[in-house]
Amino acid sequence: MRKIGDVVIVAPDGPQSGMGHAITIGDTLRLDKSLIFPDLESYECSGTPADCVKIAKHHVLRDRKPDIVVSGINHGSNSSISVLYSGTMSAAIEAAIEGLPAIGFSLCDYGHDIDFSHTEKYVEMITRQALEFGIPHGVALNVNFPKKSDKPIAGIRVCRQARAKWEEEFDERQDPMGRSYFWLTGKFVNFDKGADTDEAALAQNYVSVVPCQFDMTASHAIVQLNNEWNLNPEVKPTEGSKTIESGHEEG
């Protein structure tokens, strides 16, 4: 970002993976100058990634409007269903809610000591294009990079989110005092065989770009609910509908 413009950093003061779009309501929120980037205006916040965007816009930059908000680059994938759990992407989506162009960057590698170098030119390229051509209002871009390999990145694809989920298990263990605790484990399962998804792009060594929005309305379900449900008691149920009361069902 230094190559592109003036950078102001507001970031969490600790790991926030899996925080989603949580915000701090019933607790104090602290903001301190950070010494990690001594040559930049930088702050560390005790809150969540979404908190960081809120306090940046309304306090740190209250007299200035940023041209773009960039979140990440995240350590680990935020493709497909992971976008819902991601603190990185929630920061970008919070910026979109505030009417600011925003991008979340993530690298699909959870290794302890990973190499981000192959992402740099693409981060700059995508950010510059967003500044030049704009991002649709209310949209945040979810950009994921494949893990570094011997093969060069094949290119960039604008995709849709794959229909996938985590099949989760809670591994029960015992602490040294003999008390039980649980550790969330599981595996990622992709049900989507489409060639136009983020998972398909990443599998072919492409950078995936998914436009995301905060409006989660399932518009296609509105017609079904209005047509098939009897939500107004004064309206007679349509033929074939069922009424269930106190465990008794009548056709």
What is the pLDDT tens value at each position of the chain, 251 positions in all?
999 999 999 999 988 888 889 899 999 999 999 999 989 999 999 999 999 999 999 999 999 999 999 999 998 999 998 999 999 999 999 999 999 999 999 999 988 888 999 999 999 999 999 999 999 999 999 999 999 999 999 999 999 999 988 888 899 999 999 999 999 888 888 898 999 999 999 999 999 999 999 999 999 999 999 988 988 877 665 555 555 444 444 44
The pLDDT of residue 232: 81
How far apart CA 81 and CA 165 sit, in angstroms, is 6
Look at domain 8-166+192-219 and name its CATH class.
alpha beta
Q: Which of 136, 192, 132, 182 is nearest to 162 (CA)?
A: 192
Cα separation of the two ends of the chain: 64
Compute the chain's Rg from CA coordinates. Answer: 22
How far apart CA 18 and CA 157 sit, in angstroms, is 25
- Residue ranges of the annotated binding site for a divalent metal cation are 17, 74
How far apart CA 159 and CA 86 sit, in angstroms, is 18
- Residue ranges of the annotated binding site are 17, 74
